Amino acid sequence: MNIIKSFLTKLIYKTGNLILENYKTKKIKEKNIMYYSFNKNNNHIGQVTIFNDIIINKTYIKKHNINFELLIFHELGHKKDNLKIVLMILASFFGIELICASLIFLINIFTYIISFENIINGIITNLILFMLCSWILELRAEFYCAKTLRYNLWIKKRNLLKKTKNSFSFFENLIYYVTHPPIKLVIKLFSINYFKKKLI
């Protein structure tokens, strides 16, 4: 990672020092996954950055006993997703519209220029479209993870992880579920014969 990219990554994602690591695996043909690790006692698990680098918070995964293989293959799924840019642009567009509609709602309380019905319709429509793009992004990454691990191993690891509790605040949980489908739903969806056949 060059100096500028490393500086910006630390600044945007508040990671502190980043260490380049290599995860060796026989499950993909490249045989290894390069990622950056950092140690921060917060609720940031890890993600793929805008520079398409995988970053992982080792402190969080140790504290919450997160299965590393599940996490790294999920993030690799994001990194390799060729629809990621399109879905992210769409999600950002609907996200901005959602913020604007919410602000108009607040202003309208005092001014009452537009009918509330129209504003609420705008909020709900943009919220649904934003969630749809975000959930598709997450489902695609998780599908890659399940396909790489194969269904039986994936479901075993996922079922174990389902029981671990996060330490998110109410607001963090709200953001999480707007951007991520509940894991129980993902398990049910991938267990449908149509998907399961592709994962075995």
CA-based nearest residue to 102, from 94, 133, 180: 94
- As a residue count, the chain comes to 200
Q: Three-state DSSP class for 70?
A: helix
Q: Pick the closer one to Zn ion by CB: 33 or 141.
A: 141
| 90 forms part of the interface with Zn ion (CB under 5 A) | no
Q: Which of the ranges 10-18, 82-90, 138-146, 164-172 carries the binding residues for Zn ion, by CB under 5 A? A: 138-146
| 66 forms part of the interface with Zn ion (CB under 5 A) | no
| 33 forms part of the interface with Zn ion (CB under 5 A) | no
| 141 forms part of the interface with Zn ion (CB under 5 A) | yes
| 146 forms part of the interface with Zn ion (CB under 5 A) | no
| 76 forms part of the interface with Zn ion (CB under 5 A) | no
Size of the site for Zn ion (CB under 5 A): 2
Number of other residues whose CB lies within 10 A of the CB of residue 148: 19
Q: Pick the closer one to Zn ion by CB: 15 or 119.
A: 15
Element (H, E) at 154: helix 151-162
Q: And the tokens for 90?
A: 């769409």
- Alpha-carbon Rg of the chain, whole angstroms? 19
- Positions touching Zn ion (CB under 5 A) are 138, 141
